[in-house]
């Protein structure tokens, strides 16, 4: 009926805020913050965002309607540049 298979696919991980994350997920979250300075938790990978909060890259605030709002800090642009440079060099 279904043809399931197991593939050996290398996945790149990075440890941020004491949490192992898929590096591609971090890149996606960083890209979202290049378009918006504030993003609520409804449209965001919160595991990655919380790790970035622990690293001082984002800050967490109370938003409206019980939403959590994530906002970039002054460290964001340097971190984004450094992270993306190393990420794409390692591929």
pLDDT one-digit tens code per residue, 12-35: 889 998 999 999 999 999 999 999
Q: Which residues of 47-66 are buried (b: 16+ CB within 10 A; e: fewer)?
A: ebbbbbbeeebbebeebeee
* Domain boundaries of the chain, sorted by first residue: 13-85
pLDDT tens digits along 66-75:
788 899 999 9
pTM over 0.75: yes
**Type and span of the H or E element at 22:** strand 19-22
**38-40 and 19-22 strand pairing:** unpaired
Tracing tokens 């990420």 back to the chain, one arrives at 87
Which numeric CATH code is attached to 13-85? 1.10.10.10
């Amino acid at each position: 009926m279904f043809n399931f298979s197991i593939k050996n696919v290398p996945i790149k991980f990075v440890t941020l805020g004491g949490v192992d994350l898929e590096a591609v997920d971090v890149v996606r979250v960083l890209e979202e913050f290049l378009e918006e300075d504030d993003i609520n938790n409804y449209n965001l990978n919160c595991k990655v965002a919380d790790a970035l909060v622990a690293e001082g890259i984002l800050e967490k605030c109370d938003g409206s309607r019980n939403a959590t709002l994530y906002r970039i800090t002054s460290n964001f642009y340097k971190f984004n540049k450094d992270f993306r440079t190393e990420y794409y060099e390692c591929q």
